[in-house]
Chains A and B, each alone.
Chain A
Amino acid sequence: MRYLALLGIDETTSPKPDTPEFRAELERYERFHESAGDAILGGEAFEATSAAATVRHGDGGPLVTAGPYAETTEALGGFYVLEAETLDDAIELARRIPAAEDVGATLRPMVEWFSRATPGKGTRYLAAIYGKETEGDQPDTPGWQEGVTAHQRFMDAAGDAVLAGGALHPLATATTVRERDGEVIVTDGPFAESAEVVGGFYVLRAPSHDEAVGLAGRIPAEAVELRPILELGS
């Protein structure tokens, strides 16, 4: 099974880049990477939500607003794609992610996931697909098949700009993992309650912010939150 781990952080308390606290946090993440090894299929950290943009579909083309899709105290700080045999194994991985000690890590079973190396230069972005869940968000329904076709069209048009992507099972299958004083707390549902949820995502590369917005506007979705990816080097 593949699980998307969405990392919830409190930006008001999380360390800022280029500080000793930030480097210490990075080291904790590196220790997680070492211990999890091959179970990590992919993952990225994002720039702060202040660098986010949200693209909605409007009558006269995409509408762009600054900031994340939903202004909440619990911010999406990054993600991992984890390979685990069962939910218990995924929980054992997720509890060791430093974000589990912050707001928490939400595990979402994935319908599919791909990642590919493509040539090109530019800034990488996470394009998180938001919207109210509909019947078409249930795999193996006609609505889902229509979505698959539409996304295929987007990917064909976007070409090498698409670096990775994932589709998720409905929110009802989400589980949040928190680590508190050495004890794991497992709960049903996402780390932030909201009517609108992440249904899937792409990792895109674009030469400029405007071009990233243009790409996001062509993703078949109610709304897309664009998050510049934090390039950590190496």
Chain B
Amino acid sequence: MLATLARQLGDLSAAEDAVQEAFVEAMRTWPQRGVPDNPGAWVTATARNRALDRARREARRGPKEVAAVGAWPEPDPTEPRDAPGEPGDQWGDAEPVDDQLRLIFTCCHPALAPAAQVALTLRLVCGLQTAEIARAFLLPETTVAQRLVRAKAKIRTAAIPFRVPPAHLLPERLASVLACIYLVFTEGYASSHEGDELVRRELCDEAIRLARLAVDLMPDEPEARGLLALLLLQDSRRDARLSDGGDLVLLEDQDRRDWDADRIAEGTEQLERALLRRRPGPYQLQAAIAGLHATAVSWDGTDWPQIAALYGELARVAPSPVVELNRAVAVAFTDGPAAGLAVVDAVADDPRLARTHLLPATRADLLRRLGRSGEAADAYRSALALARTDPERAFLRRRLAEVSDPPSPGAG
């Protein structure tokens, strides 16, 4: 509804205002006059009339006042929000697909900072309240509100268009949309801060709903479907990756019976449908890797050569030192820990790894497997100094204790 109006009015803020006014009008008049036959159409029509009234009023005030009034207001907390459910619920029945797409592409425009894209998408596409977004990201509500105000001001002032990008721009803009959705998911799944687990779960669910929406809107884009598959497959392990005490449980040690079989089945099916298009990309490759893990009977029974090859392909299409670290692990299980260590050492000087615990933690594990306990302990200590979450630190401390006082060196 918001998206349809925004297209008709060419102004997101006016549309947001008008929809709010229409709902207020509905709450006032429906109890007396009864609910109209088509409530969604009634609200859209009312909102459009309100917006036109407003535009006429503003036209008499001169351009400066119009610009001032056009400032995006904070959403009214009483604004109705549909219960979470299948994507599309929040749009009403008659929301044209194109308008939803326009809204997503506008919220995820690369001229907006990624954090602003995420906040705008959660607010305008998912319908989360500012307070809910603030809670999910452990930020003061005023910070999120300010972020939203600034993003909306930039959309208006810099004339970021409310449209689906033309075909020649679509690949790079789609990448921006998918990256934003993935950012919502990773914030919930592997957040850099310790948050309320329930709140983070909501973020994962919102990301999956957004990915479904992207697939519904762009069924011919294999990377959108690849992202949905990736999120479903990663999410299938959500319950298994933390112990009852909140400790991080590595994939290797997870109880595979805790994995969500429905998620795995759906993720695998989505991945197969994406791969049929024969246009692989980073999300499909990551989903394929996640799929091999999800369908392996055990850690030892995992198809490591295939995973190593997929990481190699991923490193080719989307080079990143983190991908190389993951490839190192797969290589270690294919050709032995020494071969894996060689891959790690090749990226050891990459400045992008300087501030994460990933490099020393991966090295430490390979050294541990090689039985080089002293070096492993040093690497675990380096990793501990850089780890950012309690579960990560607890895990590294356990490993450090193991290699510092090894009862059976080289086990595993």
Report which A residues bind B (CB closer than 8 A): 1, 84-88, 91, 107, 109, 139-140, 169, 172-173, 175, 183-184, 186-189
Contact = CB atoms under 8 A, between A and B. Distances in A.
B238 interface: no
B67 interface: yes
A62 to B, nearest CB: 32
B179 to A, nearest CB: 12
B116 interface: yes
Among B68, B112, B116, B154, the one with the most A-chain Cβ atoms within 10 Å of its Cβ is B154
Interface residues of B, number: 20
B64 A87 contact: no
Given A139-B67, A188-B113, A88 B161 contact: yes
Nearest to B171: A183
B116 A188 contact: yes
A169 B155 CA distance: 13
A1 B154 CA distance: 13
Given A175-B111, A189-B113, A183 B160 contact: no
A140 B157 contact: no
Given A172-B150, A173-B153, A186 B158 contact: no
B161 A86 contact: yes
Interface in B97-156: 109-113, 116, 150, 153-154
A184 B157 CA distance: 22
Among A107, A169, A175, A189, the one with the most B-chain Cβ atoms within 10 Å of its Cβ is A175
Given A87-B111, A188-B112, A140 B68 contact: yes
A188 B67 contact: no
A188 B172 contact: no
Contacts of A169: 157-158
B27 to A, nearest CB: 33
B198 interface: no
Interface in B206-234: none
A131 B264 CA distance: 56
Given A140-B67, A189-B113, A109 B158 contact: yes
B411 to A, nearest CB: 47
Nearest to A184: B172
Nearest to A172: B150
Interface of B: 64, 67-68, 109-113, 116, 150, 153-154, 157-161, 165, 169, 172
A163 B153 CA distance: 31
A186 B68 contact: no
B157 A86 contact: no
A173 B154 contact: yes
A109 B116 CA distance: 19
Nearest to A188: B113
Nearest to B166: A88
Among B113, B154, B158, B169, the one with the most A-chain Cβ atoms within 10 Å of its Cβ is B158
A86 B110 contact: no
Contacts of B165: 88
19 contacts: A1-B158, A84-B159, A86-B159, A87-B109, A87-B111, A87-B159, A87-B161, A88-B165, A91-B111, A107-B158, A169-B158, A173-B153, A175-B158, A183-B172, A184-B172, A186-B111, A187-B111, A188-B111, A188-B113
A87 B165 CA distance: 12
Given A86-B161, A87-B160, 19 more contacts: A1-B158, A85-B161, A87-B109, A88-B165, A88-B169, A107-B158, A109-B157, A109-B158, A139-B67, A140-B64, A172-B153, A173-B157, A173-B158, A175-B158, A186-B111, A188-B111, A188-B116, A188-B154, A189-B113
Contact of B110 (A1, A107, A173, A187): A187
Contacts of A85: 159, 161
Contacts of A84: 159
Contacts of B150: 172
A44 to B, nearest CB: 23
B248 to A, nearest CB: 33
A122 to B, nearest CB: 35
B161 A186 contact: no
A173 B110 CA distance: 13
A205 to B, nearest CB: 31
A85 B158 CA distance: 10
A201 B158 CA distance: 19
A86 B135 CA distance: 34
A173 B152 CA distance: 10
Contacts of A188: 111-113, 116, 154
**Which 4 A/B pairs are nearest by Cβ-Cβ distance?**
A86-B161, A186-B110, A175-B111, A188-B113
Among A87, A184, A189, the one with the most B-chain Cβ atoms within 10 Å of its Cβ is A87
Contacts of A140: 64, 67-68
A109 B159 contact: yes
A139 B64 CA distance: 9
A91 B111 CA distance: 10
A183 B67 CA distance: 34
A230 to B, nearest CB: 29
A87 to B, nearest CB: 5
Contacts of A184: 172
